Structure 1
Amino acid sequence: MAAAKGEEEAGEAEAKPRGSKKKLILLAVPLLLGGAGAGVWFSGILSPAPPPPAAEAEPQPVNRQPVFVNMPDITANLNAPGRRAFIRVKSQVEVAGPADAAALQAAMPRLVDLFTTYLREVRPEELRGSAGTHRLREELIARANIAAAPARVTDVLFTEILVQ
């Protein structure tokens, strides 16, 4: 009887690992399949294709002509310690359309103030050469976009720049 009891215990010891491996496989396979399915779903592979565009809703060509707004002449002192230096700028501002031009005209006092304030901080050395003019243009475009907030300024065109 003792021998039979020992054999039963040995059989139970061997049976437990087999049963736990089966349980592990039975739990792991559905979890892996569910994870793979969720990955495919969230990656967008299973999302439906967008509907084709309607034949009657063809896009019309948009004829956008830029509008140029004349700026008043701006004369300002430059930041030149120990000497007198001035700049005179005549320019035009390019906007996308008439609505933006109206918004820019309404914001013209703010725009002139921002331009003048910026020009008073510029040193004469910073304006030398085409690189200096390009930097000046970029800075004025950024300030013009701030002043005419809903409108979008696309360029500032210089008619005259005089540095003395």
Structure 2
Amino acid sequence: MAAEAEIEGAAEKKKGIPKLFIIIGAAAIVVLLGGAGLFFFLSSGSAEADAEHAVEGEHGAAATDGHGAVAAHTFIFNLPPMVVNLNNEGEGEAFMKLTVALEVANEAMMIEIQPRMAKVVDAFQVYLRELRRSDLEGSAGVYRLKEELLRRVNVAIYPSRVESVLFKEILVQ
């Protein structure tokens, strides 16, 4: 009996050793893969910084957009603040105060669109009065508002073009 127990104990030790090697090997592979991932992550960040420094060297102190590309100079055209009644549909009164700036490509574009600003404000007012408070909820609602205002301003000033609509203030009460 003692001999059989000794044979079974030796067999279990032999089975336990390969499991230990498998666990240690798997842990070593995880550590190596993690180290390789960290190396590639850190080296890609330095490549972007090197590209940014290269762009600055070519263009003097040029502004970059964070991805190594030279950012174009843009001009901001401020619109007057707008206060509108929102479509309340029996929910009580709701007002929105909105201050918007338009981003244009160059100064000549600012001069070109200035006479058409009455059309832009009119297009904004008509659209904004049909909004409900629920249309402006969350970041998705504000993003839809931004995209719709951009579309309307570009229609109103065609063939000129605005690059972006920038919100300076949005207040819904």
* TM-score band w.r.t. shorter chain: 0.5 to 0.7
Asked if residue 80 in structure 1 is aligned to residue 60 in structure 2, the reply is no
Asked if residue 141 in structure 1 is aligned to residue 170 in structure 2, the reply is no
Name the CA shift for 1:85/1:100 in 2 (closer, same or farther; >3 Å).
same
State the TM-score, normalizing by the size of structure 2: 0.57
- Unpaired segments of 5 or more residues in structure 2? 1-69
Q: State the 1:78 CA deviation.
A: 0.6
Partner residue in 2 for 1:125: 134
Whichever structure has more helix as a proportion of its residues is 2
SS at match of 1:107: helix
Amino acid at match of 1:93: L
Amino acid at match of 1:111: V
Q: Distance in 1 between matches of 2:96 and 2:149?
A: 14
Partner residue in 2 for 1:156: 165
Larger radius of gyration: 1
Q: Distance in 2 between matches of 1:86 and 1:63?
A: 37
Structure 1 moving runs of 4+ over 2 Å = none
Q: State the 1:103 CA deviation.
A: 2.0
SS at match of 1:89: strand
2:78 equivalent among 70, 93, 97: 70
Highest RCO, 1 vs 2 (Cα 8 Å, sep ≥ 6)? 1
Q: Distance in 2 between matches of 1:86 and 1:104?
A: 28
CA RMSD of superposed structures (Å): 1.5
Percentage of pairs with the same residue: 46
Q: State the 1:123 CA deviation.
A: 0.8
Q: Distance in 2 between matches of 1:127 and 1:118?
A: 13
What is the number of equivalent residue pairs in this alignment?
103
Q: State the 1:116 CA deviation.
A: 0.6
State the TM-score, normalizing by the size of structure 1: 0.60
Q: State the 1:64 CA deviation.
A: 4.0
Name the CA shift for 1:63/1:135 in 2 (closer, same or farther; >3 Å).
closer
1:110 equivalent among 119, 142, 151: 119
